[in-house]
Structure 1
Amino acid sequence: MLQPFASSDPFTIGVELEVQVVNTHDYNLTKAATELLNRVRERDFAGAIKPETTEGMIELATGVCENFDQARNQLLVLRDTLVRAADFLNVGVCGGGTNSFQNWYDQRSDGRERSEYLMGLYGALYQQFTIFGQHVHVGCPDADSALVLLHSLSRYVPHFIALAASSPYVQGTDTQFQCARLNSVAPFPLSGQAPFVTRWSEFEQYFERMEGTGLVHSLKDFYWDIRPSPGYGTIEIRVMDTPLRVEWAAAIAAYIQSVARYLLVDEPVHLSERDYEVYRANRFMACRFGLDGNCLNPETGHRGPIRAEILATLEAIAGHARILGAEEGLEIIRRTVTDGLSDAMWLRRIYRVHDSLHEVARQQCQIWRGAQIPE
C-alpha cells in the first residue's frame, strides 16, 4: 500500500551520496562497509552513514537542509567522519559514478534482506548495479505539486546528468560516455520515467494496479529517474553520478533546489506527455557528451547545447537562488560550466598523463578528502 504523502517544508533539500570503498593497494573496490559502519556508529553528526547494496559501497545522507551552506557543511562532516574511519582501517573512499576497473562478477550482496531479494530477482544485472549516484530530495508543499514538479523537472534532467557526470570508465575501458553509470540502470524493467499523471489520486490508482501485478511492493521497486517519496514529502532526483567532491554535490543540489522553486512558483513549463517523446534522446545526449551535448526543447523544437542551457537557466533562477540562499552554490556551477573541467573530463585528463586507472582512482581518493583538483 502506498504511504500517504507527508507534510514537508517546500524547497528544503536532502542529499544522498553513494561512495566507493576501495583498497589502498590497487584501488579496486574492497569489502569493508560493515567495518566502516561499526567505526562510525557511535559518532555524533547530522544525517546518516548507511549501508548500500554491496560491501564496497557506503551511503552518506544529510538531514533536511534549508540551503546550500547547510547541505555543504553536513556533507563535509559526514565525509570527514568516514575518511577518519577509513584511515583507521587502511582503506580508501572516493566519489565517481563507477569504479573504473572493478569486475561486476566479484560483487556480492551485503546480506540484508532487500539486497538478497534483489540479487535473487535480477541476478547478474544486480551485480552490475555496483554504481554510485547522488540523489537529491526536494520538499514539496503537497502531493499534487510533487507530481507537477516531478514532470516539470524532466526537461532539466540533461542538465543534472551533465553537471555530475563522472563515470567515463567501466571494466577498465573508456566507454566514450561522460556518464556511463546510467547505462547500468536502463536494463531494469521498472526504470525510466514515472507515468504521466499530475494528481496524487491518479498516482495512487496506478500504484495499486502495479502492486496487484506482484511486480512491486513499494516505490523503491521503481528505478525511475525521478520518483516521489511520500514518506518524506519529497520528490527524489536520481540521475546524477556521485561527484568527486562533496562541495560540487552541494552545488548541484542548490541548482536543483533553485530550479524547483522557479518551476513551481513561476510556472514557466506547460506540461505535456509529449515531453517524453524526446526525453530518452535528450538523456542519452547528456550521458554521451555531458556539457557538450545538445538537447531538444519538446515545447519549442529548439535544439541547443546543454552548457548554454544551464547558463541561461542560471539567469532565470537567480531571484529564487537569492531567496533560498543558493547563490554561492550557483556561482560554483557558473564558474565550472563556463571555464572549468567536468569531473569526467578531469578523470580522462589524469589517465592521459599517467596511463593508469589505478592512479586515477588514487587521485580520486585524494580529491574526495579535500585536495585541490589540479588544472
Structure 2
Amino acid sequence: MSDLSQLRFTPSRPLTLGVELELQLVSLRDYDLTRAATDLLGGLHYDDRFGEIKLEITESMIEVNSRPRQDVTAIAADLDGLRQVLVEHCQRNNIAVCGGGTHAFHHWPERRISPGERFAFLNERYGYLSKQFTVFGQHIHIGVPSGDDAIWLTHALNLHVPHFVALSAASPYLDATDTGFESARLNAVSAFPLSGQAPDVADWAAFLDHMALLQSCGVAESIKDLYWDVRPKPEYGTVEVRVCDTPLTVDRATELAAFAQCLARYLLRERPPVVPAMQALVARYNKFQACRFGFAAELADPLRRCKTPLATALPALLEQLAGDADDLGCRPQLDRLRALAASHQGDAAWLRQTYQATGNLHDLTRAAADEFARPSSYCAQA
C-alpha cells in the first residue's frame, strides 16, 4: 500500500481533455441488461487507436476512455471511433450498447461482479451497493499544471456541479418506474460514504494531509476510494468532473467536454472568489435540486443569501463562456448546449417522450441503443 501523504502530482498541459463513458450492454432479445462484458472483451480485436475499452464493476457494463487530447475535435473523433468499434463488435455478439445514466428496468440482484482484484475489494467493502452501482456516468478530465491548481479548480468547479447535472441528466427511469428525477443515477453514487463535495483543503499539501488522515484511519487506500463530485487525479495531472450521466449520444458527450474545458479556462483565468466552506453548506441541496428538477432547479446562494433559478444562471454562464469557446475552437458544441438550456429538452425529456410514444420500456431501450449507434455529426462535419 502506497503512502498517500507522498502522492505526487504529475503536471500536464493545461486544459488537456479526456473523457470516460460507462455504457450499458443489453440483450437484443428483450433489451434487458446482459452479463457479457468479460466474454465481449475477450473476443475484441482492437488496437487502442481511439483509447481504451475495459471492464467496469459489473458484467453488464463497459467503459470507454478517450486518449488525452487538446481539443474537442479530437475528443469527438476518439469517442466516435470507440462507439463504432464497440457497436460493431456488440452486433456480432447479438448485443446492443447504449447510453443513459440508468437502465430503465433491470433488477440489480441479477448483476454479476466483474473479475478483478479492485472489483472484488469493492464488493467486499460495499456489499449490495456494488451491484446497485450498475449506473452509467461520463467523467471528464481537465489538465492542470500543478497540484495547487488542481485543488483550486476542484473547489471552483464544485460550484457548477448543478449545471453539469442538468445538462447531462439522462436517468429518469429506475426499477421500471419513472422516478420523477431528471437524474436518478446520482442517488446510487450518494450511498457511498466518500461521496459528495471535496473537503475544504487549501492546497496540495493540505490535500495530502487529508489523504494521510483517511489512510491512517483505514478510510481510504487510494484516490479511487474518493467518490467526490469533482476530484484531483494526480497520476494523470487532471481534475475529474464525475457528476454527468452518460449521454444518449457521443455528440452530447463531446458537448459536455467542451463545456468543461471552456469553464475551466474561464475559471483559471479569472480566478473568481471560491469559498468551499460556504459552498459546502448548500452543495448537497443544490445537487439534489438539479437531479430532481433539472433545468427547473432552484439553487441556493449562501454568499448572497438567496435562491437563483438554474434556468437563469445556466444560460448566463454559457453566454459568459462564448469567448473561451471561440478561442478553444468549440463554439458549435457550446452553442448546442445553449440551445439545449433554452429548450429544457435534454436526454431525460427525450427518454420520457420516447416512452410515451412506444408504450413500453423495452422499446424505449431499443430506441436509446439506436441513438447511441448513430455516428457523430461533428466527425461527419470534419
Q: Deviations over 1:351-374 (max 9, x none)?
A: 11222011100000000001899x
Alignment partner of 1:250 out of 238, 246, 254 = 254
> Does the aligned pair in 2 maintain the 1:244–1:367 contact within 8 Å?
yes
Residues in 1 aligned to 2:375 and 2:330: alpha-carbon distance in whole angstroms: 24
Instruction: Give, as a single letter, the amino acid of the residue that structure 1 aligns with 2:279.
Output: D
Task: Report which stretch shifted further, 267-276 or 117-126.
Answer: 267-276
**Which residue is equivalent to 2:90?**
86
**Which residue is equivalent to 2:136?**
132
Instruction: Give how far 1:267 is off.
Output: 1.3
Alignment partner of 1:352 out of 342, 352, 356 = 356
> Does the aligned pair in 1 maintain the 2:155–2:274 contact within 8 Å?
no
**Which residue is equivalent to 1:96?**
100
**Which residue is equivalent to 1:5?**
9
Residues in 1 aligned to 2:113 and 2:353: alpha-carbon distance in whole angstroms: 33
Residues in 2 aligned to 1:219 and 1:372: alpha-carbon distance in whole angstroms: 33
Residues in 2 aligned to 1:85 and 1:9: alpha-carbon distance in whole angstroms: 34
> Does the aligned pair in 2 maintain the 1:97–1:132 contact within 8 Å?
yes
Instruction: Give, as a single letter, the amino acid of the residue that structure 2 aligns with 1:346.
Output: W
**Which residue is equivalent to 1:38?**
42
**Which residue is equivalent to 1:308?**
312
**Which residue is equivalent to 1:167?**
171
SS at match of 1:16: strand
**Which residue is equivalent to 1:281?**
285
1:333 aligns with 2:299: no
SS at match of 1:144: helix
**Which residue is equivalent to 2:328?**
324
Q: Using structure 1 for the length normalisation, give the TM-score.
A: 0.96
Alignment partner of 2:235 out of 231, 238, 249 = 231
Provide structure 2 residue ranges, at least 5 long, that are not aligned to the other structure: 378-382
Instruction: Give, as a single letter, the amino acid of the residue that structure 1 aligns with 2:324.
Output: H
Q: Using structure 2 for the length normalisation, give the TM-score.
A: 0.95
Residues in 1 aligned to 2:324 and 2:354: alpha-carbon distance in whole angstroms: 37
> Does the aligned pair in 1 maintain the 2:295–2:344 contact within 8 Å?
no
Residues in 1 aligned to 2:294 and 2:11: alpha-carbon distance in whole angstroms: 36
Residues in 2 aligned to 1:145 and 1:75: alpha-carbon distance in whole angstroms: 27
> Does the aligned pair in 1 maintain the 2:229–2:241 contact within 8 Å?
yes
Distance 1:272-1:20 versus aligned 2 partners, 3 A rule: closer
Cα RMSD for the two superposed structures: 1.5
**Which residue is equivalent to 1:71?**
75
SS at match of 2:80: helix
Q: Deviations over 1:39-93 (max 9, x none)?
A: 3343352211111111110001101111121111110000000001001101000
Distance 1:11-1:72 versus aligned 2 partners, 3 A rule: same
Distance 1:340-1:194 versus aligned 2 partners, 3 A rule: closer
**Which residue is equivalent to 1:150?**
154
Residues in 1 aligned to 2:54 and 2:166: alpha-carbon distance in whole angstroms: 27
Residues in 2 aligned to 1:369 and 1:205: alpha-carbon distance in whole angstroms: 46
Instruction: Give how far 1:293 is off.
Output: 1.2
> Does the aligned pair in 2 maintain the 1:143–1:200 contact within 8 Å?
yes
Q: Deviations over 1:307-364 (max 9, x none)?
A: 3212101121122222222212101111222236210011011111222011100000
Residues in 1 aligned to 2:234 and 2:15: alpha-carbon distance in whole angstroms: 15
Distance 1:354-1:372 versus aligned 2 partners, 3 A rule: farther
SS at match of 2:345: coil
- Count of residues paired in the alignment: 373
Alignment of 1:181-200 (within 5 A): 181-200=185-204
Alignment partner of 2:180 out of 176, 179, 192 = 176
Distance 1:44-1:224 versus aligned 2 partners, 3 A rule: closer
> Does the aligned pair in 1 maintain the 2:148–2:203 contact within 8 Å?
yes
Identical amino acids, percent of aligned pairs: 42
SS at match of 2:138: strand
Residues in 2 aligned to 1:306 and 1:102: alpha-carbon distance in whole angstroms: 32
**Which residue is equivalent to 2:380?**
none
SS at match of 1:321: helix
Q: Deviations over 1:139-188 (max 9, x none)?
A: 01211011111001111100000111000111111110000001011111
